[in-house]
Structure 1
């Protein structure tokens, strides 16, 4: 009588191993010889090479034999070393779905290798019929390699996502042909320094290139997400505009940084004809608020928006966003500047957008000079805008899952012994208590410059401040789904016992930080 194991049911084995990490797979291989044999192929699913030590190990004869033995199990290769690709050239990796070579553009030592081994990279793309995601910094090293690369992209039947961060400057003509070659892809990201167009490059020439690549004067591209974060881009109307006119399914768009401000209105006019644009990313540019408004108005039912610093018209940008209050789900305003008008508008957004799930108005912790805070800092919600007598101005975004916010409030003194002193506005605590779906909360308390330093507060005042912050932690403890919590500027008022008690209520808590 024989017993059946998961190794006899391959579909069940694949389903189980799909959810296991590399570390878990290694532990399973230590159980016995049978488990080692059956679990070993899953150890080679995802290959990541980010260290030279790992690269040297892969070059060894033993690992090369293992690669050849488990080639059919390899699904993803992620390497920052360009000279690794010849090692995979003779290995029949038929099931490869993800190929990434990031960071090469920032590693000067790899530029030569990137050019030298470009043909092998292209050969690997051609030899991977199941490839779906491609990330590379290769583009424009030579006309022959560029043409082979674009031909491989154009003729690939399963490729859906392409990211090109060029390691060198590229002519407008090359970018134009690349965009035309991406008509069958769904996601395209291009980042490069682009040379200006030549006199021979005219709209008529565009049509000739289009006919040569697509075979049609009126093709319809399948691109749903186009990120075009190119710097010093002079000739957008020779490659970006013709491409946008053919992207009738475009849903996400990341705007480029243009030298000529009039170009933004031209791009917005083309986008307005796109009936499905719902996601905007303006983070790559610093321009007038009126330009951002053009892009926002070109969207239909805007769902997500990522902003940048605007020299003027900050209020107009928020007003344009509020026109999409019914559909807005994600807002990223980190780094948009500490404009005075932003505070009241933040309160309005939180009070009018019921479907908002992510509101990011605070970036990673970094030091910013006071003189540059207006342009490089994050917007600040003022206490005066939070405290409103009208109850209808309360937050309606009870579906919020991620909230990153900094607020400015004064320490409200209590009695002579420091009791009942308030650090966090009661209105803010009340609003947070209603966010029952919250998973990620990051708050920063910004103090007024004329206030007494925390180091000079009396012991009774510190103790009263701890009680105030403990009230916040008590409220947050009832948000049982909270996974991440960060409190900046509260370090002197954190009661560790109260924090420990609150953390015990969060079943899925990953980490808690305070400073």
Structure 2
């Protein structure tokens, strides 16, 4: 007679059980019997965190036991010590992810940065590495090159460095990252005073035909100083699909970025920009010929919407929450009436009275917008920060129109609305409360946040939880 099948013989069920167990529960399961030990030990030792002395001793135990260390896939720590990390050999042969944050006291130990990279170099199975707050000096580029340039499996690197670094050093670091697929680089540092920032070594920024980067983000101080390095580096990224330049300040840089994207990054579809004037914004957005799927940027210039709407047929995510925000209701409705693919939308909108709104659109255009239904009915996540600058009462007709359209977003899962005015928050009754019934059809809503000056009543909370069974307030 065949023995019955155990639930542990079905990996999917076993994984679901393990996901709901704390560490001490996994330990208890692994001690039940040999079969349970074989089933739960790989899960128990899959993720290792070093955040205390006890956890550090646990990690040392893993290093010393071949039985356990082969199960480790992820290692995360807030303060790696030399005694914890053994760079001389691959003590965790199947490690695929490393996340590490070096604090100031740890980095007082001489050679800790080199020890960290030797540990990475020894673990050839690593795919993803995240290193935060690394204090570097003139030796860093050489250490980095030996570790990253020829690492066989590393494809994703998140690196935050501080200290003193030259333009030449940054060029060397970027040059060694061309074999990666994803690079997130934060440079919170100072330049060498003797550094000639306007001279970029040609041998460091030469052609790299085998550049594999598809996702590149850089966030740095001294933005304008490093701009030439970044622009030349982007010329070697033909496969780039995601680009983030959140601290971009130079108008000339953005104007140069447009033709560069058009000529060298034809596949770019996800873009995050810092503040930009109309000229710089238009140059960059027009260059994205593949059609943007996601755009994040602060609105720091008037009449930015037309340039954004050039990608209305492809945009799936749009975040304009930071910055001065849209200047009229007509700008909000021109987006919601024109972007059928949108799933994530975050906007700041200032509602003015009729005379001010005419700055955004004339009366005929505004009337046409108010006669159309929103086409972005696939929205799943919506964040609206509404600032009421209107001086006329009763409230403008587009407020009621807006809530009627919100009620049609039946796929909406997350809704966050912040009601503001020129001074303080609006009363809840001046908008959301008056139109609550219009939102009764949002049955898939599971997250709701409303920022207003007064709290909802008990009756309103009962109505919300009844209408939206999955809601989390």
Tell me whether the two structures share a fold, i.e. TM-score over 0.5.
Answer: yes
Instruction: Work out whether 1:314 is the aligned partner of 2:302.
Output: yes
The aligned counterpart of 1:190 is 185
Cα distance, 1:170–1:342 mapped onto 2, change above 3 Å = farther
The aligned counterpart of 2:343 is 357
**What's the offset of the Cα at 1:119?**
2.2
Instruction: Work out whether 1:504 is the aligned partner of 2:462.
Output: no
8 Å CA contact 1:226, 1:252 repeated in 2: yes
Task: Number of aligned residue pairs: give it.
Answer: 453
Higher helix share: 1
Equivalent residue in structure 2 for 1:396, among 349, 359, 375: 375
8 Å CA contact 2:138, 2:164 repeated in 1: no
In the TM superposition, 1:225-240 aligns within 5 A as 225-236=215-226, 238-240=228-230
8 Å CA contact 2:313, 2:339 repeated in 1: yes
Cα distance, 1:28–1:141 mapped onto 2, change above 3 Å = closer
Question: For the residues of structure 2 that align with 1:506 and 1:450, how far apart are their CA atoms?
Answer: 29
The aligned counterpart of 2:281 is 292
Cα distance, 1:6–1:99 mapped onto 2, change above 3 Å = farther
Question: For the residues of structure 2 that align with 1:195 and 1:396, how far apart are their CA atoms?
Answer: 49
Q: Which ranges in structure 1 are unaligned for 5 or more consecutive residues?
A: 212-216, 362-377, 415-420, 455-461
8 Å CA contact 1:411, 1:423 repeated in 2: no
8 Å CA contact 1:95, 1:130 repeated in 2: yes
Equivalent residue in structure 2 for 1:302, among 277, 289, 292: 292
Cα distance, 1:346–1:64 mapped onto 2, change above 3 Å = same
Q: Alpha-carbon deviations, 1:433-466, whole Å to 9, x = none?
A: 1101101101122246599x96xxxxxxx9xx49
Instruction: Work out whether 1:56 is the aligned partner of 2:53.
Output: yes
The aligned counterpart of 2:91 is 92
In the TM superposition, 1:153-172 aligns within 5 A as 153-172=148-167
Which stretch has the larger CA shift, 499-508 or 168-177? 499-508
Cα distance, 1:412–1:475 mapped onto 2, change above 3 Å = farther
Question: For the residues of structure 2 that align with 1:194 and 1:471, how far apart are their CA atoms?
Answer: 54
The aligned counterpart of 1:43 is 44
SS in 1 for 2:257: helix
Instruction: Work out whether 1:282 is the aligned partner of 2:269.
Output: no
Cα distance, 1:120–1:344 mapped onto 2, change above 3 Å = same
SS in 1 for 2:378: coil
Q: Which ranges in structure 2 are unaligned for 5 or more consecutive residues?
A: none
SS in 2 for 1:323: helix
**What's the offset of the Cα at 1:227?**
0.6
Instruction: Work out whether 1:71 is the aligned partner of 2:41.
Output: no
SS in 2 for 1:264: helix
Q: CA RMSD in A?
A: 3.6
SS in 2 for 1:156: coil
8 Å CA contact 2:252, 2:280 repeated in 1: no
TM-score by length of 2: 0.83
**What's the offset of the Cα at 1:470?**
5.3
8 Å CA contact 1:28, 1:36 repeated in 2: no
Cα distance, 1:6–1:202 mapped onto 2, change above 3 Å = farther
**What's the offset of the Cα at 1:77?**
1.5
SS in 2 for 1:226: strand
Equivalent residue in structure 2 for 1:431, among 396, 405, 409: 405
The aligned counterpart of 2:169 is 174
The aligned counterpart of 1:270 is 260
**What's the offset of the Cα at 1:91?**
6.7
**What's the offset of the Cα at 1:427?**
1.7
The aligned counterpart of 1:119 is 114
8 Å CA contact 1:265, 1:291 repeated in 2: yes
Question: For the residues of structure 1 that align with 2:403 and 2:112, how far apart are their CA atoms?
Answer: 58
Question: For the residues of structure 2 that align with 1:152 and 1:93, how far apart are their CA atoms?
Answer: 17
Question: For the residues of structure 1 that align with 2:387 and 2:322, how far apart are their CA atoms?
Answer: 17
Question: For the residues of structure 2 that align with 1:202 and 1:424, how far apart are their CA atoms?
Answer: 55
**What's the offset of the Cα at 1:260?**
5.0
Cα distance, 1:148–1:8 mapped onto 2, change above 3 Å = same
Instruction: Work out whether 1:82 is the aligned partner of 2:80.
Output: yes
Cα distance, 1:84–1:298 mapped onto 2, change above 3 Å = farther
SS in 1 for 2:298: coil
Q: Alpha-carbon deviations, 1:305-337, whole Å to 9, x = none?
A: 111252xx321x221001111111111112211
Higher strand share: 2
Cα distance, 1:450–1:162 mapped onto 2, change above 3 Å = closer
Question: For the residues of structure 2 that align with 1:96 and 1:20, how far apart are their CA atoms?
Answer: 20
Question: For the residues of structure 2 that align with 1:450 and 1:96, how far apart are their CA atoms?
Answer: 51
**What's the offset of the Cα at 1:304?**
1.2
